[in-house]
Amino acid sequence: MKDMEIRLAGTVDDSIVDGDGLRFAIFVQGCPRSCPGCQNPETQDFKGGYLTTTTALLAEIEKNPLLTGVTFSGGEPFAQPSPLAELARACHERGLDVWSYTGYTLEYLQHRHDPDTDTLLAELDVLVDGDYREDMRDLTLLFRGSSNQRVIDMQKTRKQRRIVLLYNDGADAQSA
């Protein structure tokens, strides 16, 4: 794995709320969106948090043999797509699945035509997309806070060339 620097807000080494199974959650530092009611407003400052490396993160992940996956959250993971894609590739090599949260929609990310963004998207098993909207808050939804957000099965989405939801429990499929 190529060792790359990444700015983080923090990690949780045994999360059960950031995706299916037992997960290592990585909270990146920096987000340009400033969504009202943001779950993690302290992660918005691009100069906050701390620097680490993908190699150091992978070493932390490898300490827990019970993990089923890794989740990228934030901040905004797509503000640092290159090191996360590298880490995702290494996680897949170890049999872990990879989820990512983003305030952007999948359609927006695809239309950016950014090679680093495209590489990260290609490595994801699940993408939870869409900004948090307080007026659409719904705590009954799995792995998201508002009904506009979608939990997208990226493997099926790539195969079928259309968005395929992992959970279709009231998600509004509108693009943001």
Q: For the chain, what is the radius of gyration of the CA atoms? A: 15
Structure tokens at 55: 């190699």
Question: Domain 5-160: which topology?
Answer: TIM Barrel (3.20.20)
Predicted TM-score of the model (pTM): 0.93
Going from N- to C-terminal start, the domains of the chain cover 5-160
Q: Which residue has the higher pLDDT, 66 or 170?
A: 66
pLDDT-based confidence at residue 123 (cuts at 50, 70, 90): very high
